[in-house]
């Protein structure tokens, strides 16, 4: 019976419709075009970093890696600040966003919808407006001025505002797929509500939590508008430093460090997808 049903469900290749083969080929071609479109800027960055001369422009005959050795120390220091800030923002966004998603799941339909819409407001409001509003709020007191000017706590708070909604959105979508029977079965077996969340629901949500944390890290690392308003002396992030460098003078080392950032993002995405599965990142 299984052999008959499998043969019916999957006909031999010679009996398949030519239209299906054409559609499959078109999908592969379109996917290849998208991949080339996404990776082409990275390739151009690399070519510019090894062959850009400030006097004669791109020169393919004199390729050199000197630009990678000419990266200023301030950009390397700013990269360390960006990584530390993104890691701290990811941790804070997960600590706030995951319980908030659980609260939305446990609320009534009307309350949950209102909470979800409220938490998503920072995604809708332009980040320039959010950065200006946070700067105005934090600098109203001397303590706030000190936080903005001497530490990156002001930027951390601002990045939390824009990264937490993404965590809530991803985790809430995953929680919506958890059936009530999971809670009922756990309750029948004697588990409390807290133990159900910790030992039953959280393992099911692990891919969504990892994916939302990955998104929060990239969003924080790449942010410019809020960091422009809240960056203090000695706490500027790498995107902000690159922004000012590009506006003042376009040097080859800018292409070099941009290439390193792009390669780092590709490697991180591949490694993360390998650990949690690319479906969790989709």
Query: Percentage of residues in the chain with pLDDT exceeding 70?
Result: 85
For residue 176, how many C-alpha atoms fall within 13 Å in the half-sphere facing its CB? Answer: 12
Residue 133, classified by CB atoms within 10 Å of its CB into exposed (0-12), middle (13-18) or buried (19+), is middle
Is residue 4 very low, low, confident or very high in pLDDT (cuts 50, 70, 90)? very low
Residue 13: DSSP 8-state: G
Where are the chain's structural domains? 2-64, 73-281
Query: Percentage of residues in the chain with pLDDT exceeding 90?
Result: 13
| pLDDT tens-digit map of 108-146 | 778 888 888 888 888 888 888 988 888 888 888 787 777
CATH fold of 73-281 reads MetI-like fold (1.10.3720)
* pLDDT at residue 52 in the model: 56
pTM of the model: 0.78
């Amino acid at each position: 019976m299984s052999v008959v049903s499998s043969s019916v469900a999957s006909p031999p290749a010679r009996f398949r419709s030519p239209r299906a083969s054409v559609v499959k080929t078109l999908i592969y071609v379109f996917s290849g075009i998208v991949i080339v479109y996404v990776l082409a800027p990275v390739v151009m960055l690399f070519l510019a970093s090894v062959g850009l001369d400030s006097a004669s422009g791109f020169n393919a005959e004199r390729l050199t890696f000197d630009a990678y050795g000419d990266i200023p120390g301030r950009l390397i220091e700013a990269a360390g600040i960006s990584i530390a800030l993104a890691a701290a923002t990811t941790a804070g966004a997960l600590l706030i966003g995951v319980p908030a998603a659980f609260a939305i799941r446990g609320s009534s339909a009307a309350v949950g919808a209102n909470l979800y819409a409220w938490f998503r407001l920072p995604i809708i409001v332009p980040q320039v407006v959010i950065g200006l509003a946070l700067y105005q709020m934090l600098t109203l007191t001397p303590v706030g001025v000190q936080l903005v000017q001497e530490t990156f706590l002001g930027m951390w708070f601002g990045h939390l505002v824009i990264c937490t909604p993404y965590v809530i959105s991803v985790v809430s979508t995953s929680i919506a797929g958890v059936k009530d029977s999971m809670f009922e079965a756990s309750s029948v077996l004697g588990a409390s509500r807290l133990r159900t969340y910790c030992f039953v629901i959280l393992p099911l949500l692990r891919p969504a939590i990892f994916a939302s944390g990955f998104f929060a890290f990239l969003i924080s690392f790449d942010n410019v508008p809020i960091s422009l308003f809240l960056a203090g002396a000695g706490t500027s992030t790498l995107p902000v430093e690159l922004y000012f460098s590009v506006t003042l003078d376009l040097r080859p080392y800018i292409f070099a460090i941009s290439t390193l950032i792009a390669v780092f993002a590709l490697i991180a995405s591949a490694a993360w997808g390998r650990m949690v599965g690319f479906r969790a990142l989709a």
